[in-house]
Chains A and B, each alone.
Chain A
Amino acid sequence: MSDTAKIDRRWEPLVKEAFDSEIIERPSLTYWQDSWRRLKRNKSAIVSLVVIAFIVLSAILIPFFWGYSYEEQELTLSNIPPKLEIYQLDNENYVYITSEYKVIEVTKDGKLIKLADLVNDDKLGKKCYYDVNGNTVLIDYSPYFNAKSEFIKLERAYKKNPIIKVSDYKYLTDYYASQGASVETITLEEARHIMEKRIDRFQVKLNDQLAKPFRKVSNKTFIWGSDSLGRDMFIRVVYGARVSLIVGFVAAIINFVIGVFYGGISGYLGGRVDNIMMRFVDIISSIPMMLYVILLMVILKPGLQSIIIAMSVTYWVGMARIVRGQVLSMREQEFILAARTIGASTQRILFKHLLPNAMGPIMVSLTMQIPSAMFTEAFLSFTGLGVAAPKASWGSLCNDALQTLTVYPYQMFYPALAMSITILAFNIFSDGLRDALDPRLRK
């Protein structure tokens, strides 16, 4: 016994457990869990999802606690940009001067207080006098005004005699004198450049002292500035997000419901019914969608409801085609035949077997329809067919900003940025979703 103390058990038959060879090693995952796992690995899609969630939450929540509403006007504080160049009067008083030569009292950190009292508006002398808590603020916009009128003369003279003598024009003489340079003649472009870029729009004199801007601060009252009626741009963009998202989601959901029903029935019944139903779809889609929507919008009165109705009437055909294609390709698959051999009703086959299996492509096309619906809404609002003032949407905000684009570019920038980011996020996300749900990559 001691010789064989180390019994070599290696060569003994293996005792197997029941179902040993039937055990599944892989973790159990449903289709959606599996897709979610795949989606999680796609970083850009996840970032997009976070961005979308952030935008949706902002659009829902921010209006509840924000200090202004989208329609609150403060006409004295119109067209104030998000960045302010302020001047110091004394230790407590600061002012911001608008490009319309209005003086607005502000706090040191950029909160707007009120429009300062205008003492004298000297239209002839091109000067404005304001009184801010006992301090006199003089805004002298004559140098630029004069330079500009001289430049107009200069331009006229230039056509006859293309030599521009510096000594002939006061603003040029003054400019070169301040530079300490002696120049005889210059070109038209140089003259324009000096007028546009070298001469301050206005000069500010505080108690007769020439003042320089104290510093640049962010606008604390209207963080994204105010529009031409003195409304807060930020809340209007947020409100615009609400409108755009409502339109996007509602249109997509209505399209989903109609498209799934229509396409599902058409695909499952097939044959003649399918033929007739699809010809109807062809007729609808043979007229350009946008034309359709615009015509409907003209009949219906502009507004959120009308946009949604107009889009629901036309946009479902894409979804119906997708669902029909899916159902048609699955109809002859064996699991559907199996359901029929056990006596499953049409309803059960459609809702328990066909649609759950077609859900991947449906979800992808749904997320692709949201940005497209948002775009359509923005387009309609931009052309004036969308939501009516004072309601705001990204499209109408852009339209409002169009006239003053060169003076107040921020009024266009923020709604356009919000729209671009949202639509980009939706597009990247739906792209990622398609990859995640694509059964061809499944293994």
Chain B
Amino acid sequence: MEHSERLLEVRGLKKYFEKRKGIISKKVEYVKAVDDVSFFINKKETFGLVGESGCGKSTTGRTIIRLYKPTDGKILYDGEDIGKLGEKDLMPYRKRIQMIFQDPYASLNARMTVADIIGEPMEIHNIASGKEREERVTELLNLVGLSKIHASRYPHEFSGGQRQRIGIARALSVNPEFIICDEPISALDVSIQAQVVNMLEDLQESFGLTYLFIAHDLSMVRHISNRIGVMYLGNLVEVADRNELYDNPIHPYTKALLSSIPIPDPELAEKTERIILEGDVPSPINPPSGCKFRTRCKYKSDICKEVVPKLIDVGNKHYVACHLLQN
């Protein structure tokens, strides 16, 4: 029963980027951006993916929408593995899966009008043309709080928030069922972030959308997601329902991450003790053996160096990948 609700299931997803050393040298290094990640997303839910820059959360999203070809693993979308499909076979899925991007200044083609930007997916998928398309563009603009008067303008005339809404309208133009939101609010001002988040929530409500919400802002992720996965250096270290994760974090990295959220409350901020992690994230080219977090972990032991921890169900739909649980 529960299984049938799943819209997306990722099994053992790996994405390595080749990095050649010099022109002649045959030596190839691999950037292990995503290294064996498995999770699933149910229909109509929002799955949040958090982590620091370089943890592979964006690469995961881009591989799912097949901007990248996965190195290994399965991407089961509605039961079918789309990980190995060619561009032609992917076309029907390009309608069903859409993406919203991070940088509102780079994600819209500066030489196209707003009407052309929103209309392009409809043109490619032969959804509507002529007057009908025009009407649909107006409808979509209204949906994201803009109006017909904006249709003939160019992206650079809009503010960041408005541009991000145009990006949302573009994603909605093909009536998708699943939208990957790749840090959609991190480039926006605080007062605008809430507008976009509310809009995403409203759209989910009215169109029954499913979201994969990728972000590094933990408080926003908590607000919007039903379930959250925490990534570190290409691995998923903890997955749980949002309240379970925030109230009862188990992985040392999740704990540190949560405690470093700046709290917009001076008295509370004074009271809360921060766990300040030492050092930096290691390079994904030569990640540490075993548990990748061990170089910054307070509780590391010998086993962490040898064995890669697996995600273990600790009950309450809470999964953690840490050797501490075995002891």
Direct contact of A and B (CB under 8 A): yes
Interface bits A219-262 vs B (CB < 8 Å: 1, else 0): 00000000000000000000000000000000000000000000
Contact A334 B103, beta carbon cutoff 8 Å:
yes
CB distance from B149 to the nearest CB of A (A): 8
Q: Using a Cβ–Cβ cut-off of 8 Å, how many residues does chain B contribute to the interface with A? A: 41
Task: Tell me whether B162 is interfacial, beta carbon within 8 Å.
Answer: yes
A316: shortest Cβ distance to chain B, in Å?
23
* B277 on the A face (CB < 8 A): no
Q: Which of B97, B110, B147, B170 contacts A22 (CB 8 A)?
A: B147
A 335-350 to B, binary, CB cutoff 8 A, 1 in contact else 0: 1011111111000100
Q: Does B152 contact A (CB under 8 A)?
A: yes
Q: Which residues, 228 to 259 on B, are CB-close (under 8 Å) to A? A: none
Given contacts A22-B146, A337-B67, A337-B101, contact A357 B174 (CB under 8 A): no
* A148 interface residue per 8 A CB criterion: no
A338 touching B153, Cβ below 8 Å: no
- Which B110-162 residues have C-beta < 8 A from chain A? 110-112, 120-121, 124-125, 145-147, 149-150, 152-154, 156-158, 162
Closest to A355 in B: B111
Give Cα A26–Cα B150 distance, bound, in whole angstroms: 12
> In the complex, what distance in Å separates the CA atom of A371 from the CA atom of B247?
70
CB distance from A442 to the nearest CB of B (A): 7
Of A27-35, A183-191, A207-215, which stretch is located at the interface?
A27-35
Within the assembled complex, what's the spacing in Å between the Cα atoms of A339 and B67?
Answer: 10
Asked if A40 is at the interface (CB within 8 A of a chain B CB), the reply is no
Q: In the complex, A424 Cα to B120 Cα: how many Å?
A: 43
Residues of B within 8 A of A340 (CB): 67
CB neighbours (8 Å) of B268 from chain A are none
The answer, yes or no, to whether B274 is at the interface (CB within 8 Å) is no
A334/B124 contact (C-beta < 8 A), A24-B158, A341-B65, A343-B94 known: no
Is B106 a contact partner of A342 (Cβ separation < 8 A)? no
Mostly helix, strand, loop or mixed at chain A's interface? helix
Q: Is B91 an interface residue (CB 8 A)?
A: yes
Tell me which residues from 75 to 126 in chain B have a Cβ below 8 Å from any Cβ of chain A.
87, 90-91, 94-95, 97-99, 101-103, 106-112, 120-121, 124-125
Q: Kindly state whether residue A353 has any CB partner on chain B within 8 Å.
A: yes
Interchain CB contact under 8 A, A356 and B101: no
Q: Is the Cβ of A341 less than 8 Å from the Cβ of B152?
A: no
A24 CA to B151 CA, complexed, in Å = 12
Alpha-carbon distance A426/B222, docked complex (angstroms): 59
The answer to whether B170 and A338 touch across the interface, beta carbons within 8 angstroms, is yes
B56 interface residue (CB < 8 Å to A):
no
Residues of B within 8 A of A333 (CB): 106-107
> Which residues of chain B have C-beta atoms less than 8 A from A334's C-beta?
101-103, 106-107
A275 CB–B CB distance under 8 Å:
yes
Distance in angstroms between the alpha carbons of A335 and B110 in the assembled complex: 9
Measured CA separation A66–B324 after assembly (Å)? 96
Looking at chain A, what size class is its interface with the partner chain? 20 to 34
Identify which of B91, B101, B108, B110 contacts A31 (C-beta below 8 A).
B110
Judging by beta carbons under 8 Å apart, are B120 and A344 in contact? yes
Q: Are B91 and A343 in contact (CB under 8 A)?
A: yes
Chain B residues contacting A24 (CB-CB under 8 Å) are: 150, 153, 157-158
When the two chains form their complex, are residues B109 and A342 in contact, meaning their CB atoms are under 8 A apart? no
Residue of A22, A342, A344 with highest tally of chain B CB at under 10 A: A342
Contacts of B65 in A (CB 8 A): 341
Chain B residues near A (Cβ < 8 Å): 23, 62, 65, 67, 87, 90-91, 94-95, 97-99, 101-103, 106-112, 120-121, 124-125, 145-147, 149-150, 152-154, 156-158, 162, 167, 170, 174
Extra contacts besides A338-B108, A340-B67 (14): CB < 8 Å: A24-B158, A333-B106, A334-B103, A335-B107, A335-B109, A341-B67, A342-B174, A343-B91, A343-B95, A343-B124, A348-B124, A353-B109, A356-B111, A357-B111
In the A-B complex, list the 4 residue pairs whose CB atoms are closest, starting with the nearest.
A343-B94, A334-B107, A356-B111, A334-B101
List 17 interface pairs A-B (beta carbons < 8 Å), by A numbering: A22-B145, A28-B154, A28-B157, A333-B106, A334-B101, A337-B99, A337-B107, A338-B167, A341-B65, A341-B67, A341-B97, A342-B121, A342-B124, A342-B174, A343-B91, A343-B95, A356-B109
Chain A contacts to B: CB under 8 angstroms? 19, 22, 24, 26, 28-31, 275, 333-335, 337-344, 348, 352-353, 356-357, 359, 442
